[in-house]
Amino acid sequence: MILCLLIEGAAPSAFGRDLPADVDAFVAMREQCDHFRSEPGGDASRDREIAKALRTYCRGTDAELKSLKQKYRKGPSAVRALLDGFDDQIE
């Protein structure tokens, strides 16, 4: 079992799941993106902070999601289900 995880590049993620490293990195980034997408605006200063965070965490995630779905289309069902849980278009 451990050998299989090493071969596939899976490691315990910050989210308590065994995920391939590229999926783990995507999930961390996209969850930050989704967090800031749901932040309410307010004053101009906070709006600028949110806009900066959206550029930082959201840029390129649609393409990355599409790429990961293609890469893992025949991969573990848990990985596919996790990726399917993200919106396809945010940018």
Would you say residue 3 lies in a domain?
no
Tell me whether residue 90 is in a domain: no
Task: Give me the residues paired with residue 19 across strands.
Answer: 11
Q: What is the mean pLDDT of residues 10-17?
A: 48
Q: Is residue 11 part of a domain?
A: no
The residue that leads in pLDDT, 16 or 10, is 16
∠ Cα 80 84 85 (to 5°): 120
Q: Is residue 1 part of a domain?
A: no
Dihedral (CA of 18, 57, 59, 90) sign: positive
The first and second tokens of residue 85, run together, are: 């849980």
Q: Classify residue 54: in a domain, yes or no.
A: yes
Report residue 50's pLDDT band, with 50, 70 and 90 as the boundaries: very high
Q: Indicate the pLDDT class of residue 7, thresholds 50, 70 and 90.
A: very low
Per DSSP, the chain holds a count of helices (H) and strands (E) of 5, 2
Residue 21 belongs to a domain: yes
pLDDT at 91: 55
Tell me if 34 sits within 8 A of 26, measured CB to CB: no
Domain that holds residue 33: 16-84
Domain-embedded: residue 27: yes
- What is the rounded distance in angstroms from the CA atom of residue 71 to the CA atom of residue 73? 6
- What is the number of domains present in the chain? 1
Residue 41 lies in a domain: yes
